[in-house]
Amino acid sequence: MAFLEVEDGKRVYYEHHAGAGRPVVLVHGWGVTSRCWDTTLPALLAAGHAVVTLDHRACGRSDKDFTDTSIAAIASDVVAIVEHLGLRSPVLNGWSLGGAVATEAAARLGSNLAGLVLTGGATPRYTSAEGWPYGGTPADVEGVLAGLAADRASTFRAVAGAVCVKPVGADVVESMWLQFMESGPKADLTLRDLAGIDQRDVLPTLACPVLLLCGREDGFVSFDGVAASRTLFRDARLVEFGGCGHAPFLEDGDTYRAELLAFLGGLAG
């Protein structure tokens, strides 16, 4: 475990697990922590990959009192960690809001990127807009934030309970709730920022191969939106997880890990 100072003495928590294979950077979803990858990380390590995880600003073990908790700021942290560790041609894997973070970081990394994986990724938009009829509205997001302001614990428990469609067990849901409860109020601003993010102009600029992994019954990120995003990338493949919700790595872990490892194994260089 380590910390990287990224803004005015504030620190981001990260872990760098050594491996001889392709480096993989795992970027978690809104409000949770890098512990959400606890069933993905061992499979990557067993396959020989180097793996980096991090906790977003105001989440987990990172400092909570950042001034800037925007998508762009968190993406800059991902890039800073990649550069700090000297990672060559890594693959970024972003879940949910982490998909928007990973997409922004991918654009900044440019040629020093081997591939991009989006797991229920909230890109190019999380909310609907002209020419993009997928997702909810900024008002929906404000409703969640109002719930957090009134009763953070109960609101996060409801969110944790809605992540998965397939039964994953009470312990898994409790784990997600406890991760949510480690976030500070500044993390709420990251979700508000996501409501206005539009990356439709970014996706076509990414030259690397892209793997889209999404649950058909995802209640947070529109599956139809993910399917539509495939055509905006130069080189993307979509894997549909039937009967799964927002966390296919938890709901159908065997298939998820097999698809992820096959994608990594198929990359050139």
Around Cβ 200, how many Cβ atoms within 10 Å?
Answer: 14
CATH number of the domain bearing residue 135: 3.40.50.1820
Domain span at residue 260? 2-266
CB 28 within 8 A of CB 56: yes
Q: Over pLDDT 90: what percentage of the chain?
A: 98
* Phi and psi angles of residue 123, each rounded to the nearest 5 degrees, phi first: -145, 145
Distance CA 233, CA 121 (A): 13
Among 112, 111, 92, smallest CA distance to 103 is for 92
Residue 212, helix vs strand vs coil: strand
């206005």: which residue's tokens? 196
Distance CA 119, CA 96 (A): 6
Work out the mean pLDDT of the chain and round it to a whole number.
97
The pair of structure tokens assigned to 128 is 């609907």
Distance CA 194, CA 56 (A): 14
Number of H helices, E strands in the chain: 10, 8
Distance CA 33, CA 42 (A): 16
Count of structural domains within the chain: 1
The pair of structure tokens assigned to 127 is 């909310």
User: CA dist 192 to 37, 120, 157, 254, Å?
Assistant: 24, 18, 19, 33
| 57 half-sphere exposure, CB direction, 13 A CA radius | 26
pLDDT in tens, 159-188: 999 999 999 999 999 999 999 999 999 999
pLDDT in tens, 211-253: 999 999 999 999 999 999 999 999 999 999 999 999 999 999 9
Residue 49, helix vs strand vs coil: strand
Among 9, 8, 38, 11, smallest CA distance to 26 is for 38
The pair of structure tokens assigned to 263 is 């994608």
CB 91 within 8 A of CB 267: yes
Give the pTM: 0.98
Distance CA 195, CA 130 (A): 14
pLDDT in tens, 45-67: 999 999 999 999 999 999 999 99
Task: Give 7's pLDDT tier (boundaries 50, 70, 90).
Answer: confident
- Which pLDDT score, from 0 to 100, does residue 120 have? 98
- Which pLDDT score, from 0 to 100, does residue 268 have? 75
* Phi and psi angles of residue 69, each rounded to the nearest 5 degrees, phi first: -120, 30
